[in-house]
Amino acid sequence: MVYFRTNWVVNPESGVYSASVRSPTNIPSDPPLSGYGVEQSKQLASYLGEMQPAVDRVYSSPYYRCLQTLEPYIKETGIEIRGECGIGEWHGTALFDHPSPAPASTLRRLFPMYSESYIPAIIPAPSGESIEGLYDRTAYALARIIAQLDTEEGQPKTVLLCTHAATLIATGRTLTGHLPEHVEEEDFKPFTCSLSKFVRRKDPSDNIKFIGTVKAEEGIPQVDWRSGRGIGGGWDCVINGDCSFLKGGAERGWKFGDL
């Protein structure tokens, strides 16, 4: 699931970010949704409210625009949001450090259902990632999320993840285990506020241990997901970029070839 946001720019030499619309977190690269994006988030909330089985758990990138996309639905349901940096924004490699998302204490103040106790699986490298690095980071984060959920009482049936375009594509590829020959292939469709659905194939055989938050710059534990294996037993994509519930339909699609 991705969003319709306001914009920012970065000076490629100095690494200084700036934005025309002030961010509630005071981080220029953490902009809010546009007014149109807010309307889309309300349409999404109505659609999610009718989903069966109902959503049991919610994980989100800790960037403001993702949390704002979830806000109408969370206000209706009261489900806790687990902020997971491992499904956060993708920044390409750079000679400077990219801004990090706001701390949990700030996000909790802005979004009361944001969890301050959840421990993220991984923190992306501050200087950015290659596309392969994005795959590794996303795969590990998802493997940790799935392993955690498998141990939780009540065995949740429906989990909602809110993320960004590039990370959504990486999510689809690592969950299903299908890596296309060309990175720019349009296999998974991250339209603004779109919804994709993945159904698990079988019980997992991954051996993922809870070892606290991993820092990607120090090395990412490898997860075997390629060649159709997928993460946590593998998943099939049964709905790909659905926008049928949005008044404007599918908009602002993105692929790696747009870089």
State residue 207's pLDDT score: 62
CB-based contacts of 233, cutoff 8 Å, min separation 6: 200, 201, 202, 203, 204, 205, 206
What is the H or E stretch that residue 161 is in?
strand 159-162
Question: Six-digit token pair at 204?
Answer: 């997992």
Instruction: Report the pLDDT value the prediction gives residue 257, as an integer from 0 to 100.
Output: 82
Burial of 144 (0-12, 13-18, 19+ CB in 10 A): buried
**Total number of domains constituting the chain:** 1
Residues of the chain with pLDDT under 50: 1-4
| pLDDT score for 259 | 55
Q: Does the residue 2 lie in any domain?
A: no
Whether 23 is covered by a domain: the verdict is: yes
Contacts of 230 (CB under 8 A, 6+ apart): 174, 175, 176, 177, 201
Residue type, 177: G
> 247 is written with which tokens?
């008044």
Residue 3 domain flag: no
pLDDT at 154: 85
What is the domain extent for residue 89? 8-250
